[in-house]
Structure 1
Amino acid sequence: MAEIRGLLFDKDGTLFDFHSTWGGWTARVIERLAGPSAETRRAVAEVLGFDLDARRFDEGSVVIGHTVAEIAALLTEFAPGRPVEALVADLNALAVRNDMVPAVPLVPLFRRFREMGLKLGLATNDAEEPARVHLENSGLTPYFDFVAGFDSGWGGKPATGQMRAFLDRTGLQATETAMVGDSLHDLHAGRAAGMRTVAVLTGIAGREELAPHADIVLPTIGDLPGWIGSFGGA
């Protein structure tokens, strides 16, 4: 088996705990669109797959794997007369200011990845601008060789454009890399690109859902160094 020389990460639910990070963002989106109407708040929450009382996401929530543009398109009924592009800008502005909760201590882990000689990339269905802000605010920018959002020119997951762009940027072969994520979108994209696939359990989906589509399921990305080392990797 070829050694692992590169890791391509999803962002939300992988680097950052999903419920803790995006519950607040979703609540603010609902408040922005619904205003004081309790009925409209419930309707927006239902579209987003979000329990306002528990501040938890349904397993099928569109916030989990969809792009910002896809989410905005679903919300246009609550913003009559506003183009999708304007909603996308609003959602991105809220995302830039979002408080990100790390799934594990990130800087020491990514320093270790670098010491292992790994090339590192980010492939998210978030937009590129907030993704770069989140990395910068978390002290991770110096560790990434590649960052792509759904709007970076390669599309979003589960398509493989971001994966192929990462391979082009780093010069690695697909068999030398692993796509690491918390959703089926991540795993389907990685597998279709010929990468190994690693599922983590810091998002919404559980082991039973993810395991058939992953080479391995790990509790968190903090377990990656041990997995890589288990077959003589970097």
Structure 2
Amino acid sequence: MQHRAIPQDLRIQLWAILQHVLEVKIPFFGIPLKGVNNPILVLDAIVKPSNNFIKIDIIDDFLTQFNEAIGFECASEKKQWDASIPFSSYYIYITNEIAEDSIRKCGIPIDEKEKFEILHLIDEALFPQNYLVKALRTAQQLDAQILYREGEEPVEVSLKKIVIKTLSSFPLDQNPRYMDNSLIHLVGILPVEYAESRSVDLIQVENGLWSAIYSLPYLYIKSWKWIWDLNWVTLIEFSSLEEV
């Protein structure tokens, strides 16, 4: 009997189920600069939660906003916050889960487009004018990996999913140590260049820029990466699915 090869997407889904992991959106490239509208590269990442649960107010704030938006007290389940996942990525993931559970539980006649309209409005209320949150939510809505720049149409990109592990997070002081036009241009072009070339050398270049601009430690381990995480900068370890 001839056996057919299992498609890669199905293999990834089966692996994720067996490993009890989550798939989240992460801002793999993109450094925030005050007053600068540079692109963000959002990728799909597989992460295995460590069940490091903490109490956080953002869940309660979201529940209140969501119930007000739909006009029903449907979102009431107290979801726990897993601190082992980058904050911004987990916010996008868990709030969509809450919305879908609530819509299903109460039988609310809301389609996918309307659901995401509500989520975008709540995002804006909780994180005003934050284009990182907009980028991640847009990628989730499109179910795609994207290059996102505020005010422009997102561009879908085809890149392999990665596996990540959160190592640490630090408060982000958005007061650059040094900044000029050449650095601004380089920060903006790197997400685009990586999406086109997939050159791992560019990962080290952006890590170096994080160090130069925000005085973060320079990373000598090639599988480590600084990523923007709202008011934090988070250090992740990444690998390809083929390596796990």
Structure with the bigger percentage of helix: 1
Same fold (TM over 0.5): no
Structure whose CA Rg is larger: 2
Q: TM-score, normalised by structure 2?
A: 0.33
Q: Using CA pairs under 8 Å that are at least 6 residues apart, name the structure with larger relative contact order, 1 or 2.
A: 1
Decide which structure has greater strand share. 2
TM-score, normalised with respect to structure 1: 0.34
